[in-house]
Amino acid sequence: MQAVGLITEYNPLHNGHLYHLQRAKQLTGADCSIVVMSGNWLQRGEPALLDKWTRTQLALAAGVDLVVELPVFYATQPAHLFARGGVEILTALGCQSLVFGAEHPELDFAQLMTALPKTQAAFKHYNATYATQFNAALQQTTGVTLTKANDMLGFCYYLANQQFGNQLKLIPIQRQVADHHDDQIQAHQSFASGTAIRAAALQQAWSQISAVVPAATLTQLKTQRLQTWPDFWPYLQYQLMTASVTQTHDYDQMAEGLEYRMKETAQSATSFADLMTRAKSKRYTYTRLQRVATAALLQLTATEVQTAQQHNYVRVLGFNKTGQAYLHQVKKQLTLPLYTKITKDLRLHGLALDYRAGRVYELVNGHSQDLYRRPIMFPR
């Protein structure tokens, strides 16, 4: 069996994601589609609107054959690390290709990659975002800058694929209609950004949403509890107010004195949005601040995140019969550990960070995210 991979968040799954999946199958002719999906905490440093099990169910209903989780120590990182985690998992699973959406799929990503320094060391300074540093180097060497989020992520897939031996054939496709940051659902359109759909869902604008998501997604949005940062604000404020500056300094992506700024603003902030506004500066983007807030809430230290990134794994969330057959085909050749359930040992060691992230998410969601959970078997 041949497999095509997709790296996603499905927050929530919408018509653009359906198009992505369908085109991936058409372009590759693959027998099996594998989705690496962020768990309950996402790349922009925010909780998922719907939990990972609901999103897995929606993905399987949409035609995905196998869903595996992108661990929290990659899912909440800047683009180059987010991409590295997903590409490593797809490579380990023996995928032949990775299909991704881009604003400008006509760009020669492989050629642009050759123009950059061979080492990533140049992009490890915390006083500027990775994207800013990367684009400065790219502009200097090629005259090109990547200003769109999915173009940037696509480039990072090429870097990661090179790191893991170029096993994957990378296939960019045109992102449909809506821009990544569009905040409104346009009338008479069948596509909308995740940003616009989330905003509409929180306003219960179901008539707008129904045109741009599958019926199953609409049902889940209408009936499930939707998690957002304000739900977790009391817990975050408590962490920031009670932790010492020494402790706060150790949190992942906290640097350049940001620990003092976050702790000080938490004393007087009245909401999560207020905290972000008070902490924002030219040095720190909202996304960076949200990722730092996620690390603080989950008490993820830089040391444990970096250690965990050296021990990636394949955590299965769900599959259908095709996905199950594919797993059976490749499991003896897997180069990463394969996990289908949480044991006490994994909870304390191998899956400790994802287990912690799930437990915190449960404070609002109310449903077990890891303990006693087995992969969803979709009946087709």
- Domain assignments of the chain as residue spans, ordered by start: 3-107+146-204+209-224+311-377, 229-306
Q: CB burial class (10 A; 0-12, 13-18, 19+) of residue 117? A: exposed
Distance CA 241, CA 243 (A): 6
Ranges of residues in the chain with a pLDDT under 50 are 119, 121-122, 125-127
Is 217 annotated among the ligand-binding residues? Answer: no
122: alpha, beta or left, given left = phi > 0 and alpha = psi -120 to 50?
alpha
pLDDT in tens, 277-329: 999 988 888 999 999 999 999 999 999 999 999 999 999 999 999 999 999 99
pLDDT score for 127: 46
Is 297 annotated among the ligand-binding residues? Answer: no
pLDDT score for 376: 97
CB-based contact 373:347 (threshold 8 Å) = no
Is 12 annotated among the ligand-binding residues? Answer: yes
pLDDT score for 321: 97
Distance CA 309, CA 306 (A): 5
Q: Could you tell me the pTM of the whole model?
A: 0.93
CA dihedral (372, 43, 192, 173) positive or negative:
negative
Is 175 annotated among the ligand-binding residues? Answer: yes
Is 81 annotated among the ligand-binding residues? Answer: no
3-state SS, residue 227: coil
Is 17 annotated among the ligand-binding residues? Answer: yes
DSSP label at 332? Answer: G
Across-strand partners of 4?
A: 33, 97
Is 19 annotated among the ligand-binding residues? Answer: yes
Is 13 annotated among the ligand-binding residues? Answer: yes
CB atoms within 10 A of CB 119: 8
DSSP assignment string, 247-298: HHHTBTT--TTHHHHHHHHHHH--SHHHHHHHH--SSS-HHHHHHHHHHHHH
Is 45 annotated among the ligand-binding residues? Answer: no
Is 71 annotated among the ligand-binding residues? Answer: no
Q: Which two tokens stand for residue 164?
A: 């893991």
Distance CA 20, CA 16 (A): 6
Distance CA 333, CA 87 (A): 17
Work out the widest C-alpha separation in the chain, in whole angstroms: 57
pLDDT score for 125: 46
Assess if CATH 3.40.50.620 describes domain 3-107+146-204+209-224+311-377: yes
DSSP label at 94? Answer: T
pLDDT score for 349: 87
Is 101 annotated among the ligand-binding residues? Answer: yes
pLDDT score for 281: 87
